[in-house]
Amino acid sequence: MIRANPHYQKLNTDYLFSEIAQRIQAFQARRPDTALIHLGLGDVTGPLPAACIRALHAAVDELSCRDGFRGYGPEQGYGFLREAIAQHDFRVRGAPICADEIFISEGTKVDIGNIQALFATDLRVAIPDPVYPVYVDTNVMAGRTGPATGGRYSGLSYLPCTAANGFVPEIPDTPVDLIYLCSPNNPTGVALRREQLQAWVDHARAHQALILFDAAYEAFIRDSSLPHSIYEIPGAREVAIEFRSYSKTAGFTGVRCAYTVVPKDCIVRHLDGTPASAHALWRRRHQTRSNGVSYFAQRAAQALYTPEGRRQARALCDQYLANARTLRTGFQQLGLPCTGGEHSPYVWIDTGQDAWAFFDLLLDQAGIVCTPGSGFGRCGQRHIRLSAFNSAENTAEALERIAQVLA
């Protein structure tokens, strides 16, 4: 008899987005003529920047002849991309990161799930609420929690992010080892300010904790005083691992390319207390479990660091940010409190009622798909997340339909 991993039985429900997909399917079976507008899924809709398309074509041409052909690439990623990242994403911002501290991967979701394999199962883990559900679920699967009651797993330290604290996670009173931070946050859209991030870094240094910093949406930050990377904060190299993705920032959700930064100063401990380099552990894992990311994807990502690529990717984000502003303003006019949408493609709305009930209302009466906030944590029970990853026309029409329903 093959026994399944017992921790999977603790998982609350299906993955949030599978539940949404099922409700949409049921709706479409009932009302096949309604044209749905999707403001739910965090998937982009705009085409890739032209600079990336050109790089993809050039990579195909290279591989089509014997001289240009490449087989397995370096597990950690090609030097041409890692060098560009170190220079343009970090060093220009005063963040001291070297190319060999960067690991290219197929996606941040995969890396966030895999990174916790480096750590012992009895670590104390702190996770904001609400946040990207993958942090919680992967720790449940790894056996770092007890069962869930009332939407929360025992054994996890939840960091509530509500209107009362400006949706900024507060440093917990009880000691923790692993701290997840997401800035700009999915789903609230709130970006941590420099002094807030500094407080977390100082806390991690004082308590030998490690921060897992998810910056998948950093390219949406438009206020120059806000940090894009945790390594802009003094002392972070020793206590933080950072995740970056090209998915939302350059339309790579289908291409698949991302990276994780594990600085060489980041030290964890073996069971006997001897120091271990997190960088060396992650490199070892990569060598064993990865053969790298496709050459095409890495060439396309490299193109994002040319002046043309940077301009085009920024313009893409600007379009989504304009939609986010439209949504935020529209909902404020409807009298519902919102946050996000300024440095983020997400708007987080307090509906004043149960999130799934509001989801069903928008779906059934307006043909609009949103994301119920309860899927991101208990603090999201009355909220929905709207995503700006649609066309300006669809966003405007969605608002009109919603206004009619809520009027």
Q: Least CB distance from residue 150 to ligand PLP, whole Å? A: 24
Binding mask 198-237 for ligand PLP (x = CB under 6 A): ----------------x-x---------------------
> Judged by CB, which is closer to ligand PLP: 245, or 390?
245
Q: Least CB distance from residue 248 to ligand PLP, whole Å? A: 7
Buried b (16+ CB within 10 A) or exposed e, 277-315: bbbebbbebbeeebebbebbbbbbbbbbbbeebbebbbe
245 contributes a contact to ligand PLP by CB under 6 A: yes
Binding mask 269-308 for ligand PLP (x = CB under 6 A): ----------------------------------------
Strands 371-372 and 383-387, by their bridges, are antiparallel
> CB–CB of 293/77 below 8 Å?
yes
Chain centroid to Cα 136, Å, comes to: 13
89 contributes a contact to ligand PLP by CB under 6 A: no
Q: Which stretch binds ligand PLP (CB under 6 A): 14-22, 95-103, 245-253, 269-277?
A: 245-253
CA gap 349, 18 in Å, rounded: 22
Q: How many CB atoms lie within 10 A of CB 359?
A: 24
CA gap 113, 111 in Å, rounded: 5
Look at the chain and count its residues. Answer: 407
Strands 338-340 and 275-277, by their bridges, are unpaired
41 contributes a contact to ligand PLP by CB under 6 A: no
> Judged by CB, which is closer to ligand PLP: 220, or 366?
220
Q: Least CB distance from residue 386 to ligand PLP, whole Å? A: 14
Q: Least CB distance from residue 180 to ligand PLP, whole Å? A: 10
CA gap 407, 404 in Å, rounded: 5
Residue entry with tokens 């946040």: 131
The site for ligand PLP, by CB under 6 A, has a size of: 13
Residue in 40, 42, 128, 340 binding ligand PLP, rule: CB under 6 A = 42
Residue in 116, 139, 183, 186 binding ligand PLP, rule: CB under 6 A = 186
Give the SS3 label for residue 216: coil
109 contributes a contact to ligand PLP by CB under 6 A: yes
Name which of 188, 185, 268, 187 is nearest 197 in CA terms.
Answer: 185
Residue in 253, 277, 332, 394 binding ligand PLP, rule: CB under 6 A = 253
Extract the tokens encoding 165.
């604290």
Q: Least CB distance from residue 347 to ligand PLP, whole Å? A: 14
Q: Which stretch binds ligand PLP (CB under 6 A): 104-112, 162-170, 283-291, 386-394?
A: 104-112
Q: Phi and psi (nearest 5°) for 181?
A: -130, 145
Q: Phi and psi (nearest 5°) for 163?
A: -60, -30
Whether the bond into 130 is cis, omega within 30 of 0: yes
Interacting residue ranges for ligand PLP, rule: CB under 6 A: 42, 107-109, 132, 182, 186, 214, 216, 245, 247, 253, 258
